[in-house]
Amino acid sequence: MRNVVKIASKQENLREIEKLVDEFNEIEELDESLYGKVMLATIEAANNAIVHGNKLDPEKKVKVEIIKRKERIEIYIEDQGNGFDYMRIPDPTAPENIENIHGRGVFLMKQLSDEVNFYKNGTKVQILFKI
């Protein structure tokens, strides 16, 4: 099972990502907890791609792909930005970062999923959920 959508980099298009996850869930019938984690991690990654990757440029696209394998769900989110140094993301739970409103998205994705990997200089993220 594979679902794919490409959206222009506008935050209101996150509704299309929600719809993609809902359609995937209708077929795969995920348990409620897993569905919530998949939805939240996917929306967070897509929002990061829109805002930080593509800098809200509606000419640039974000591609989201959800694939069901035998024992896992793979989610890929790719933007057309310049990438980022994903090895240097500050820990949002560190005392010096508690007040910072940025930097929580990747932390959240890692907390919700079983694995998060970055490719293409950080322009593509893979989020894995074991099932």
CA–CA separation, 9 and 58 (whole Å): 5
Per-residue pLDDT at 1: 77
Statement: residue 101 has pLDDT above 70: no
Per-residue pLDDT at 80: 98
- Residue 68, classed as helix, strand or coil, is strand
Per-residue pLDDT at 89: 75
For the chain, give every domain's residue range. 2-130
How is domain 2-130 classified at the CATH fold level?
Heat Shock Protein 90 (3.30.565)
Intra-chain end-to-end CA distance of the chain, in Å: 14
Of 58, 60, 15, 18, whose CA–CA distance to 35 is shortest?
Answer: 18
Predicted TM-score (pTM) of this structure: 0.92
pLDDT one-digit tens code per residue, 82-100: 998 877 776 766 677 666 6
Q: What percent of the chain has pLDDT over 70?
A: 89
Task: Compute the Cα dihedral for 55, 60, 66, 72 and give only its sign.
Answer: negative
